[in-house]
Structures are given as C-alpha cells and as structure tokens.
Structure 1
Amino acid sequence: MRLASLGSGSKGNGTLVCAGDLLVLVDCGFSLRETERRLAALGLSATDLAALLVTHEHGDHVRGAGALARKYKTPLYSTFGTARAVTGKAAGFHGADWREVRPGRTFELADMTVTPVTVPHDALEPCQYRFSWRQRELGVLTDLGSLTPHVVDAYRECDALVLECNHEPELLAAGPYPASLKRRGGGGPYPASLKRRVGGNLGHLSNQQAATLLGHCNVDRLQHLVLSHLSEQNNTPDHALGWIHQAVEAGRERIRVASQEQGFGWLDIH
C-alpha cells in the first residue's frame, strides 16, 4: 500500500491511494488539464484510476472531479449531500458514473475497504476517508473544524495519516487578506467573518488541534504522518512542525509537510 499527493492547500487538493494494482484519487481540486499534468509528473495517467472519491463540494476539492470522471469514465463516489451541493456548479457531476457513499457504511473497491467518516465542516454532507488493505490502515483527514469522539476513534489506529494543519491562530488573527480574494485596492487584513469561518468549529483544524488529535492516537504505529492543507497566509511548515513535534517526540523522520505545488511523492506502507 502507498500514497502520494498531487498538491495540498487552498488552491487545490488531490491524494492518491494505491493498494496492490488498485489506484484511487481522493478529491480533484485542480482543473482537468492541471490534474492530468500532475498525474503525468508521477508517471501516471487518469486512465490508471479505478475510482475518484470526493470529500465535499468546495472548489479546492471538487474543481476537476466531474470533468475527469466524464472524460475517463471513472466511477465517482461522494455522499448524496455533496452531489446535491455540486449540482449547478458548471456541469457538476452530471453525466458521470456517480455512486453514493454513506458515512459510517464501509464499501469495497477491489480488495480494499473504504470507510467514509463524518466530519464537522461547513459543507452539506462532508466526509473524510479511511482505507484498509491487508491489515494496513491509511487515514485521510482534512477539512474539519473540530475534533469529535467519532473522528478520534476513526483515526486512532493508522499506519499512515494525512492530517490537516491548516492554520496558526495567532497568524490567522493578524493574517493579510488573501490575494485570491482581493477586489479593489490593496487588500488588508482578513475580514472578521472569514477568520471566524476558518477558526470555527466547522472550519479548519489548527496546528494545536492536529497535535491534540495525535495525543489520542497510537503514534508509535505511524509509518508516515503528512501534515496537509497548510494555509499559505496563516501558517508555515515551521509552525506546524513545532506543534506536531510536541505530540510525536520520537521518529520525527516519519513526518513531512505536503506542499501546494508539488504535494508529496510516493510513500510506501509496509
């Protein structure tokens, strides 16, 4: 079993999970052309994908999903709420081979078991995913604003974990207005409403919250821990690693940070 990333951050997300000959993509937050380019950089084609799993309807996770699924006839999995929320956004999932997933109800892709996990996020019916294959457990956990007992239990025992470390609260409080949201003039600080959204219970995990989760997990079991979805404005790798190193004191070579531009290369789970 192994994993890789096409990129991670507010401009687009995509995580590859490979189990034997089975290859799936979790989220497709880049345009179709950019997704194809990033796959090619890893020596892959979209024709290699057996399935596309979507976590929720926000653009940085779903931007190219419908187009990819239609072009390559790739089965597309999401909750009903996500599919409904995507309706009307360009072509949405219309024309794709869409298949419903239900949070908490496992399903099989070849001989890999997939568990959709309900998370608190400001989307219609968001979920994250855990993958089981030959006694190995891989967790993908991004885009949630708070830790629930359900989330902790779902990700407590993993051999590899892709974990959101979105922001540092102090940087968020003083953060600049993001260039992507500028309209007229020279930008300025984040609007208070955006700060409340990002830092709220339905927003994104802070570095401290991610470290708290790890305090409840069997970190000795982790072969790989990837810090993901870092805000370009409100976080830095040093801030994220500083908190995570407090929770994972030994084996820090297992920890890496996913980048927006390059994601991360293949990591093998033994």
Structure 2
Amino acid sequence: MRQRGPDECGASRRPDPRHGGCGASREVPCAQEGDRRQGRGGECPHPRGLIGREGLVLRLRVLGSGSGGNSIAVRSGDTLLLVDLGFSFKEEKNRLADCGVDIGEVSAVLFTHDHSDHCKGIATFHKRLPDVPLVANGDTADAIARQTGVNDGWTLFENGEPFELGDITVTAFSISHDAADPVGYLFEVDGSSLFVGTDMGVVTSNVRMAFSRATCAVLEANHDPVLLEQSDRPISLKQRIRGRTGHLSNEDAAMLVRETNPLCLKTLLLGHISSECNSPSLARRAFADVFEELGRTDVHLSVLEQDSPGDLFEF
C-alpha cells in the first residue's frame, strides 16, 4: 500500500494497528446459548453481540446489506475494520452500538467501490474521525473523492497484492461491476479466511480463486430472474442488473458454489438481496439445492438483512 501524497488528493495516513488451512466457522449466539458454548453459566459474555477482542480469530458482523446501504465489521484481536460506509454516520454508529462496539474503535475503513450505497457515510465519518485511514485502490478513491469531497485520509493499494492491517492480511480482487475499479476482499488470519464479494455481474477467475479459499463468505444473491423480468422496473434497469457489470442472480451465485465447492467453507451469508425481485426463501432454495447435490451438510447458510445487523460469526 502507499499513502496518497498531498499533490494527489491530500495527505493519507497509514492504518493504525492499535485498534487492531481451513478453520471451522460458527455463529456466536447470545445469552444462555453463548454461555453453554463456552461451558459457563450466567450471563452472555458478549451481552449485545459484541464483536469480541480476545484471540487471533476472525469475527464478522454484517451491519446491513442491500440497495439501501452496506457495511460490514471485521475484527481480529485489536484490529477492527469496516468494509464500506453505506449508511449515514449516525446510522453506522447506532448499528455498531447495537453490536456493543463504539465507532471510535474502528482501525480503518475499506471500500469496495464508489456507489452511494457503499460510501454515503464517508464525509461525516471522516470529519468526525479524521485519523481513521480510508483504504481503497486509486480509481475508487478518486471516484469517491469526486462525489463526496473527501480528498485526504486515503491509503491506496494495488489489486491482487496482499497487505497488512493490524492483525489481518487483506487481498483485494477485481470484480465486474459498473463502477470505477470495483473489488471484493479476502481477509485472512491464522488459516481462517473471509470472502466478501457483492455487486458483480459475472463470476470471474479472480472471484473463483478467492472464494475457493474461504472459511466464511459474504456472497451476493441479488435477484431471481423471473421476478426481475416480471417487475415494473424500466427495461434499461433490468438490462443493467442482469448485465455483465450488474448483479448476480441466485442461480449465478449458486453456480459459483457448485463449480468451486471449497471444502474449507463452513459459513455462507447471502447478501444484497433485492426486496422487489428476490426473497430470502428463493435465495435459500437455490443454494440448498446445490449443497444437496454436493452432499454438503457442513455449511451454515444464512440470508442477510437490510434493516438490522446480522448475527456474529467467528472462525
């Protein structure tokens, strides 16, 4: 990674590490269920679904996923990363608080691309927390800066080149979407890995390679082709959604699982579900059929929501 110099868009900062094989993945429930898992009685050790700090494992909490806003919290040890800021600062702060996390703990924010449902909260976030690095590739940083006026605070990476953010190794991989230089991410700690891949029209070799290494994956399953065709959306929008730089259908995303069948995958979270052209049951069915074909009974399948944070997973 490199800092963006003042002759480009302003001074950038390096990520501050202070906040900072295939392993099994598991949902971390709250209250008594969580205590039984740890062999203790009494109250839940993370009473509101806190993204815990102990140990070098990856912990994941999707704060919201959909066209109304996207953001993901990833933690290992003292390193707390956000992927995208698709909500207002107030909403982002409240959703983190619902997970037992103060927004001031964030170590860095990574951006997948420049669409507003992934970066709308950046201006206020940067104003309130100017020392938190904003991490992206150069084209994405430029595009977001043009939209929002946030010209400083950027730390840049090259797609495909691993870099360290505190305890976490991060690799960005190119995806196919109608944005400046969109990416997905692979986060790795001690043999466990998290794949984040949403907002893409087709599955490329980059996506297959990253997905095949995932212990846990956040994968787009945006629409059902029949519901999309039957919807009242303009033809131009339908063509965009199902085009090569649009969004994955349930069947397209399920095909990725069928083609790669990563044996290390233990948790699959389906995101960016269209409220008009899809449903959780349709998305689940597409993947359940594939897992049945593959004889996989060891993968936890969950559908993410737009309006509230998802469950806490650690792996």
Q: TM-score, normalised by structure 2?
A: 0.78
2:277 alignment partner in structure 1: 234
Q: Which residue of 1 aligns with 2:19?
A: none
Shift of 1:219: 4.0
Aligned residue number for residue 213 of structure 1: 256
- C-alpha change, 1:117 and 1:253, in structure 2 (3 Å) is closer
In structure 2, distance between residues paired with 1:126 and 1:253? 28
Contact 1:161 1:225 in 2 (8 A): yes
Indicate yes or no: 2:105 matched with 1:62.
Answer: no
Distance in 1, matches of 2:248 and 2:205, equals: 15
Deviation at 1:234, TM superposition (A): 0.6
Q: Which residue among 246, 251, 270 is the counterpart of 2:289? A: 246
**CA-CA distance at 1:21 after TM superposition:** 1.9
Q: Does 1:115 align with 2:158?
A: no
**C-alpha deviations, 1:161-185, integer Å up to 9, x for none?**
000000001111111xxxxxxxxxx
Q: Decide which of 137, 143, 165 is 1:85's aligned counterpart.
A: 143
Q: 1: distance between equivalents of 2:189 and 2:311? A: 20
* Partners of 2:123 and 2:148 within 8 A in 1: no
Matched, 1:36 2:96: no
The percentage of aligned residue pairs carrying the same residue is 37
- Point out where structure 2 has 5 or more consecutive residues left out of the alignment: 1-57
Equivalent pair of 2:140/2:182 in contact (CA under 8 Å): yes
**Residues in 1 aligned to 2:120 and 2:285: alpha-carbon distance in whole angstroms:** 32
C-alpha deviations, 1:45-85, integer Å up to 9, x for none? 11111110000000110111232133112111011111121
Query: What is the match of residue 198 of structure 2?
Result: 142
Separation in 1, partners of 2:114, 2:151: 14
Between stretches 148-157 and 4-13, larger displacement belongs to: 148-157
Aligned to 2:213: 157
- When normalised by structure 1's length, the TM-score is 0.90
**Runs of 4+ in structure 1 displaced over 4 angstroms?**
none
Assess, with a 3 A threshold, how the Cα gap between structure 1 residues 252 and 111 changes in structure 2: closer, same or farther: closer
Partner of 2:233: 190
Whichever residue aligns with residue 83 of structure 1, its letter is A
Between 1:140-149 and 1:150-159, the stretch displaced more is 150-159
Whole-angstrom CA distance in 1 between matches of 2:101 and 2:188? 23
Following superposition, the deviation at residue 223 of structure 1 comes to 2.0
Distance in 2, Cα, partners of 1:79 & 1:70: 21
Q: Contact 2:214–2:265 at 8 Å: present in 1 too?
A: yes
SS of aligned partner of 2:87? coil
**Which position in structure 2 is the counterpart of 1:266?**
312
Indicate the residue corresponding to 2:108 in structure 1: 51
Which residue, 301, 305, 308 being the options, matches 1:255?
A: 301
Q: C-alpha displacement at 1:151, in angstroms?
A: 1.4
* Equivalent-residue separation in structure 2 for 1:251 and 1:70 (angstroms): 47
State how far apart, in whole Å, the 2-side matches of 1:28 and 1:224 are. Answer: 24
Deviation at 1:98, TM superposition (A): 0.7
Asked if the contact 2:268–2:299 (Cα under 8 Å) also holds between the matched residues in 1, the reply is no
SS in 2 for 1:89: helix
| 1:181 matched residue in structure 2 | none
Q: Would the aligned equivalents of 1:52 and 1:69 in 2 still touch at CA under 8 Å?
A: no
> 1: distance between equivalents of 2:249 and 2:123?
30
Gap runs ≥5 in structure 1: 176-188
Q: Determine if contact 1:162/1:227 at 8 Å carries over to the other structure.
A: yes
Alpha carbons 2:266, 2:299 under 8 Å: kept = no
- 1:82 partner amino acid: T
Counterparts of 1:9 and 1:158 in 2: how far apart (Å)?
A: 22
Name the CA shift for 1:90/1:153 in 2 (closer, same or farther; >3 Å). Answer: closer
Inter-partner Cα distance in structure 2 for 1:162 and 1:49: 20
